[in-house]
Structure 1
Amino acid sequence: MYTVDIDVVELPLSRPFTISRGTRTAVTVVRVSLEQEGFVGLGECTPTPRYNETPESVVAQIQSVVPQLQEGISREALQNLLPAGSARNALDCALWRLEALKKQSTLWRLTNIAQPEAIITAETISLDTVEAMTAAAKSAAERDGILLKIKLNSEQIIEKVAAIRAVAPKATLIIDANEAWSDHNLPELFDALLLFDITMIEQPLPAGNDDALADFAHVIPVCADESCHTATDIAALKNRYEFINIKLDKCGGLTQALAMVETAKALNMRLMVGCMLGSSLAMDAALPIAAQCELVDLDGPIWLAMDSAPYLEYRQGKIWI
């Protein structure tokens, strides 16, 4: 039997975070603790309006399975009780951590994944004016940033990328369009972006309206984010995308994320792990996935005014473990 506690916590950001869909100055997370025999497993999720989630709806989902949790539900049974999404993520990660504590183990050992010394992570350049984005990229490069993720909408794409490349000549650059490029000729735009040595472009078209990606050869690899939630989505994406972006809040936790890695590898899809805004508690659960991915974007805590335990160390473009 588990004792269940649910908290809704607002985390102020240290600076505004802007993507094509809007700006945030704070993020609201839902935290779950599961206690059994004196051991406490913790999980954190970030309800996402893009997926019709609110803190209230996520709390309601978690509360709906409290009776089963109190009976001592397994991670495997949880997969069938709740759909993919933030609520299941918080519970799944809490169950993983509870098992690790009870076995005096770690997520690394439970998942049988080698723990590296450090993992390169993207630092996000929030959508803003050309001048502001250039200044942010210059600052990141001066702090030895290795991988920069450029948030863009449909405006001033080339101008912003050119300015960022000029101040970060050695950095690996990836672009996240957040579904905003429907009005562009993508083959022409991709060709224009080749000049700036772009490693990957994430979700240029809206999920469900991305068939056009199958109509031309990608001179820059494309990653499915909003179009890819769980392992069952992956096979149908192979003719449109080279990468998939695994996020625990989308897929519903570490259990499903591990299944996504296995499925993607079997289909020769390339792997990225991403995050919503959140604390180190949320990012830490994704590290066993990050260790298996070509690209990692787990920079949520560096946007917070104040982080939470386990306080991951972000330095020189890496998460030090």
Structure 2
Amino acid sequence: MNRKRDVYYWQERSILKYLKKEWIEHAVFKINSNGIEGIGAGTPNADFGETYKTTMAIIEKMRKLTEEWEDLNNYADFEKVMSNIVKFDMSSKTAVEIAIADYILNSKNLDLSKILFSKKDLNEEMKKLYVYNDMGYAVYDELIDALMVKIEFIEKLSLEELEILKANIDKYKIWIDFKGIFNHYEVKKILDVFKGLDIMAIEQPLPIGSEFAVKDLLTKYPVFWDESFKTLQDIIRLKDISAGLVFEITKFGGLLKTSEYLKVAESLGLETMISSRIEHPITLDWTKKIKESFNYIDLNYEHYIEKTSK
């Protein structure tokens, strides 16, 4: 084997608060070449069938490729080869791609986030509120300094809990992420309960495959799609029933595909949001580097993280 550099990977965990689960696992990937390092991370997405084990198995394949690759500055060429190996596990691809972007920054002083992305004039930021049954009240104190709050359903709520939620968020602009877990009737009932709130947009109101049933809501609310949007083909499929699309760099395996898809969405006149699940701080930092390229920014969830460590 013609190994040109050293590559390492390991597990880290974020300890959580306010949520039903206590921690979340991350995969960290490090490149070391003549003392110059590049570090990336990826957090497996259970919604896409990823687990820590599947992510680490693919990262092992990427380790061998990364160690033998002639010149990591050939970023786009490496990404093409990696994409042929990584079919679906975008968390593993993100960890490796960010590590290479970080290595290029440290070795060449070239920040790929600035090269691949341009800034927009208007960006609206919001704070995340995960919504589930029997929520404690302490988390609402974290919202005091927010102007806009994105409520993201983890599970369905009773009518009584919806009323409690409404009473605690009625002072903010609201973005509602339904996560595709409700049917059309349930979405309309929730929106009826929330009547009177300043609702900025609704996100993924219906499950994947049921998107076109949203047409009666399009005249009342801007509709953004997240889980339904994974490929370029999805942009074309959803463009006529969308105000905009939700991006995550982990969803698309790093910076290159995110930049490519963003340009297509913008060419069709769609608005865009940059969002993130609870990710490793390395991934979140790179996401924040490109946040001003999007109309809406959903990256403020630090209040859910106690600490991240090995």
Deviation at 1:162, TM superposition (A): 5.4
- Residues 181-219 of structure 1 deviation map (CA, whole Å, 9 limit, x = unaligned): 115265565466452111111112111232312455341
Q: Matched residues in 2 for 1:193 and 1:263: separation? A: 34
The yes-or-no answer on 1:195 pairing with 2:199 is no
User: TM-score, normalized by length of structure 1?
Assistant: 0.81
- Residue in structure 2 matched with residue 44 of structure 1 by the alignment: 41
Kindly tell me: are residues 189 and 109 of structure 1, through their superposed partners in 2, closer, same or farther at Cα, counting changes over 3 Å? closer
Q: Distance in 2 between matches of 1:267 and 1:43?
A: 32
Pair 154,194 (structure 1): closer, same or farther in 2 beyond 3 Å: same
1:15 corresponds to which residue? Answer: 18
Using the size of structure 2 for normalisation, the TM-score is: 0.84
Residue 127 (structure 1) aligns with: 132
Range 261-270 or range 181-190, more displaced: 181-190
Q: In 1, are the aligned partners of 2:132 and 2:156 still within 8 Å (CA)?
A: no
Structure 1 position 37, deviation (Å): 2.8
* Percent of aligned pairs with the same amino acid: 20
Is the CA contact 1:175–1:202 (under 8 Å) kept in the aligned structure 2?
A: yes
* 1:20 counterpart residue number: none
Cα 1:269–1:283 change in 2 (3 A) is same
For 2:54, the equivalent position in structure 1 comes to 57
Alignment of 1:246 with 2:247, yes or no, is yes
Shift of 1:63: 1.4
CA distance in 2, matches of 1:187, 1:14: 31
**Which position in structure 2 is the counterpart of 1:88?**
93
Unmatched runs of 5 consecutive residues or more in structure 2: none
Offset of 1:124 from its aligned partner?
Answer: 2.1
> Helix, strand or coil for the counterpart of 1:287?
helix
Change (3 A) 1:167 1:231: same
Q: 1:46 to 1:180 in 2, by over 3 A?
A: same
Which residue in the other structure is 1:280 paired with?
281
Q: 1:10 deviation in Å? A: 2.2
C-alpha deviations, 1:277-297, integer Å up to 9, x for none? 123211111124311212211
1:204 alignment partner, SS class: coil
- Is 1:99 the equivalent of 2:99? no
| Aligned counterparts of 1:190 and 1:169: Cα–Cα separation in 2 | 13
What does residue 75 of structure 2 align with? 75
Q: Tell me, yes or no, if the aligned pair for 1:124 and 1:299 is still in contact at 8 Å.
A: no
Structure 1 residue 4 and structure 2 residue 7: aligned?
yes
Q: Evaluate the alpha carbon distance shift between residue 154 and residue 12 of structure 1 in structure 2; reply closer, same or farther with a 3 A threshold.
A: closer
1:187/1:218 contact within 8 Å kept: no
1:214 and 1:56 map into 2 onto residues whose CA distance is 40
Change (3 A) 1:136 1:53: same
After superposition, the Cα gap between the structure-2 partners of 1:141 and 1:121, relative to the gap in structure 1 and judged at 3 Å, is closer
Paired residues in the alignment total 296
User: CA RMSD for the aligned pairs?
Assistant: 2.8
Equivalent pair of 1:5/1:34 in contact (CA under 8 Å):
yes
| Inter-partner Cα distance in structure 2 for 1:211 and 1:296 | 26
8 A Cα contact 2:114 2:290, kept in partner: no
Task: Give 3-state SS (helix, strand or coil) of 1:249's partner.
Answer: coil
